[in-house]
Amino acid sequence: MKKIMNTAAHFVDEMLEGILAAHPDRVKLCTGSNRVILNAHPPREGKVGIVTAGGSGHLPVFLGYVGDGMLDGCAVGNVFASPSASAMAAMIRACDQGAGVLCLYGNYNGDKLNFNMACEEVEFDDIRTRTVLVMDDVASSPPEKADKRRGVAGMVYAFKVAGAAAVKGLDLDGVAAAAQMALDNTRTMGVALSACIVPEAGKATFAIEDDEIEIGMGIHGEPGIEVRKMMTADQIAELVLEKLMNDMPLHAGDEVSIMVNGLGATPLEEQYIVYRRLHKILTDKGIKVFMPHIGEFATSMEMAGLSVTLMKLNDSLKEYLAAPASTPFYTNANK
Amino acid sequence: MKKIMNTAAHFVDEMLEGILAAHPDRVKLCTGSNRVILNAHPPREGKVGIVTAGGSGHLPVFLGYVGDGMLDGCAVGNVFASPSASAMAAMIRACDQGAGVLCLYGNYNGDKLNFNMACEEVEFDDIRTRTVLVMDDVASSPPEKADKRRGVAGMVYAFKVAGAAAVKGLDLDGVAAAAQMALDNTRTMGVALSACIVPEAGKATFAIEDDEIEIGMGIHGEPGIEVRKMMTADQIAELVLEKLMNDMPLHAGDEVSIMVNGLGATPLEEQYIVYRRLHKILTDKGIKVFMPHIGEFATSMEMAGLSVTLMKLNDSLKEYLAAPASTPFYTNANK
């Protein structure tokens, strides 16, 4: 195992210390918890709070999106492990500006269990919460069981849309509806060429041969749909786009945002080669692309591979996507 | 070899097509050359032009910094190979707004040879040029032969400073002096944990054992100073910082910007763990850190490892570093 770290036990805390040391003008720790990150700029009174939580090992997800125009807080777990309910409750309290708090997070059992406990706990403080689950990974469950799907890179679009809706002044139900609208129109699928190494385990999360690609892999190394012999960039783009569009049909005149998300070790060059083909197929079908996002948005540490996310746009989603945002890892760079 | 591409022969052109398809609002091709990228927003008349060039395989370097507040143009070569002199000449002509053009690029023989030819060629068009070479890699040559040093991630600071000086309205000599001042105060050193794969070669550029780290590796896999057994993140930070500060002494009261640059496959988590230690050592010495840059700025495709760059600041360099910039890969995210 070659990882640039000190000890596995301190991996997450030292990463957090690094982020806080680098970005003190943008993020800060929540009083009473060294695993909760808040926006350093207090939101205005009456703005709906938006929080998320999840395991570490996916930077910029989750905490990298805490900042102006996106999230107000993020509770951070160990690598691939949920943070505690008490950390989540402290975060929700810190992020309530009197208008309630949206809990927007991936559909994983640990996170759900702990967020549900945290939301019950803050009810005693008369803090209203709403929950919207991200379940954009089409490879993780068929359409008839879409409520079993995992949340992956599409959550970044949901953070962006919900954040802009909250800044615009929508109330809690309105912000939750905006996040849900984004997610109803968002689908993701990924492919993996190599595994990642969880620091505490010290070995690869799964095995894959030197000439193979796994289709539909999850961001914690959950098994995909199938393992194939290595494919070309165009074949990958075509296969993934077909799966996404089977799940969410698109037609001439539609407009989408595309996210090509490197999982950690895939060169930007390769991501743009895939984007080239996606853009060509969609454009040939008369589908317009708005604000593509290409880079690393939701990773699995050193996993090689990428995911493709489509968000089908309407006027509201376009407005929210294009609204300003400024966080340590997201500044509307593709606007 | 597992690379997400179609054929090695089309790797660079398809990457460029992807970038142009993704960012048509920011970059465009130069008329007459499909290997020269220009800012889509024409610079104002009388602004000094700033251009660079170099081999592909280092995204965001080089072309990713073409845009408002940084570069006006970039000529793109094959992977790790210089572009042609004729492409460079076409670029210089396109980027001259009547005030001359600064050629700002890494100290590599192929690039120097071709840029020199291009600059001679455009003299016939009465276009004035100045050249500033980036040679920030302290591991590549001792201080007494500093003119033999390679240019690596420090060039990004030079692009930023020169770009801001040109926007401010300095003339060609002034912009060249600003770039040189940035570079005189900039030092970089990298470590590599794994090699990268040049598409046309199809195999790793060098061999390194599973428990080893190479200190001082270049971004094309040029040999470093020594190979050691794998080190902790803190040891890496301490070793690299010591080498940088031996070459460019820093004292209490000094102010620096730090760039921790992932070479391609190194997780952001690990980069922040290294940043944590760098920040602590400098802060303990009374050295202040301004606008740290952590992420992928100058890569070697899928190479694992990172480099650390220090730029010692003065009031001018701080002003230029903090000035607005907007390119496909750089938007002052850490400001």
- Give the tens place of pLDDT for each residue, A162-203: 999 999 999 999 999 999 999 999 999 999 999 999 999 988
Q: B195 contacts in A (CB within 8 Å)?
A: none
Q: What is the pLDDT of residue B140?
A: 95
What is the Rg, in whole angstroms, of the alpha carbon atoms belonging to chain A? Answer: 19
Query: Nearest CA of chain A to the CA of B289: how many Å?
Result: 9
CA quadruple B171, B156, A321, B40: dihedral sign: positive
Report the C-alpha gap between A181 and B28 in whole angstroms: 34
CA angle B260, B174, B64 (to 5 degrees): 40
Q: What is the pLDDT of residue B32?
A: 87
Q: B294 contacts in A (CB within 8 Å)?
A: 18, 22
**Mean of pLDDT values over B69-81:** 97
Which among A220, A251, A279, A293 is annotated as catalytic? A220
Q: A3 contacts in B (CB within 8 Å)?
A: 267, 270
- pLDDT tens for chain A, 335 residues: list them: 799 999 999 999 999 999 999 999 999 999 989 999 999 998 899 999 999 999 999 999 999 999 999 999 999 999 999 999 999 999 999 999 999 999 999 999 999 999 999 999 999 999 999 999 999 999 999 999 999 999 999 999 999 999 999 999 999 999 999 999 999 999 999 999 999 999 999 888 888 999 999 999 988 988 899 999 999 999 999 999 999 999 999 999 999 999 999 999 999 999 999 999 999 999 999 999 999 999 999 999 999 999 999 999 999 999 999 999 999 999 874 44
Q: Which two structure tokens, joined as six digits, stand for B69?
A: 């507040």
Chain B segment 249-268 residues within 8 A of A by beta carbon are 264-268
CB contact under 8 A, A273 and B328: no
**CB–CB of B241/B256 below 8 Å?**
no
Query: Nearest CA of chain A to the CA of B227: how many Å?
Result: 14
**Mean of pLDDT values over B97-116:** 98
CB contact under 8 A, B59 and A3: no
Q: B6 contacts in A (CB within 8 Å)?
A: 232-234, 273
For the segment A194-251, what is each residue's pLDDT rounded down to a tens digit? 999 999 998 888 889 999 999 999 889 888 999 999 999 999 999 999 999 999 999 9
Report the C-alpha gap between A281 and A274 in whole angstroms: 11
CA neighbor of A198 nearest in space, from A264, A150, A261, A148 = A264
Nearest by CB to B19, which of A15, A232, A272?
A272
User: What is the predicted ipTM?
Assistant: 0.97
| B214 interface with A at CB cutoff 8 Å | no
Beta carbons within 8 Å of A111's beta carbon, 6+ residues apart: A53, A54, A82, A105
Q: What is the pLDDT of residue B206?
A: 87
Three-state secondary structure call for residue B299: coil
**CB–CB of B295/B261 below 8 Å?**
yes
Q: B4 contacts in A (CB within 8 Å)?
A: 193, 233, 236, 266, 270-271, 273-274, 306
Q: Which two structure tokens, joined as six digits, stand for A239?
A: 């296969």
Q: How many CB atoms lie within 10 A of CB B283?
A: 12
Which among A58, A251, A279, A293 is annotated as catalytic? A58
Query: Nearest CA of chain A to the CA of B121: how many Å?
Result: 31
Query: Nearest CA of chain A to the CA of B211: how many Å?
Result: 7
Q: Please give the positions of B annotated as active site.
A: 58, 220
Chain B segment 267-326 residues within 8 A of A by beta carbon are 267-276, 279-280, 292, 294, 296, 299, 301-302, 304, 306
What is the Rg, in whole angstroms, of the alpha carbon atoms belonging to chain B? Answer: 19
DSSP B14: H
| B96 interface with A at CB cutoff 8 Å | no
Q: What is the pLDDT of residue B79?
A: 95
**Residue appearing with tokens 């999106």:** A65
**Mean of pLDDT values over B103-129:** 97
CA neighbor of B40 nearest in space, from B68, B17, B69, B75 = B68
CB contact under 8 A, A279 and B22: yes
DSSP B204: B
Q: Which of A66, A212, A269 to mutate to test the interface with B (most CBs of B within 10 A)?
A: A269
Q: A19 contacts in B (CB within 8 Å)?
A: 272
Q: Is the pLDDT of residue B212 over 80?
A: yes
Query: Nearest CA of chain A to the CA of B176: how many Å?
Result: 28
DSSP A129: E
CB contact under 8 A, B194 and A2: yes
Amino acid letter at B262?
G
**Mean of pLDDT values over B147-176:** 98
Query: Nearest CA of chain B to the CA of A67: how many Å?
Result: 12
E strands, chain A, are 27-30, 33-39, 49-56, 73-79, 101-106, 129-134, 186-192, 212-215, 226-229, 255-262, 288-289, 293-295, 305-312
Report the C-alpha gap between A82 and B78 in whole angstroms: 44
CB contact under 8 A, A4 and B306: yes
Q: B328 contacts in A (CB within 8 Å)?
A: 333-334
Three-state secondary structure call for residue A15: helix
**CB–CB of A161/A182 below 8 Å?**
yes
**Mean of pLDDT values over B93-114:** 97
Q: Which two structure tokens, joined as six digits, stand for A70?
A: 């996106």
CB contact under 8 A, B273 and A6: yes
The pair phi, psi for residue B123, each rounded to 5°, is -60, -35
Residues A88-127 as b/e (b if ≥16 CB within 10 A, e otherwise) read: bbbbbbbbbbebbbbbbbbbbebbbebbeebbebbeeeeb
CA neighbor of B225 nearest in space, from B197, B204, B247, B210 = B247
| A232 interface with B at CB cutoff 8 Å | yes
Q: What is the pLDDT of residue A221?
A: 86
Chain B segment 41-70 residues within 8 A of A by beta carbon are 56-57, 59-60, 64
CB contact under 8 A, A22 and B269: no
Q: Which of A2, A3, A4, A327 to mutate to test the interface with B (most CBs of B within 10 A)?
A: A4
A10 labelled catalytic: no
| B17 interface with A at CB cutoff 8 Å | yes
**Mean of pLDDT values over B86-106:** 98
pTM of the model: 0.97
CB contact under 8 A, A269 and B56: yes
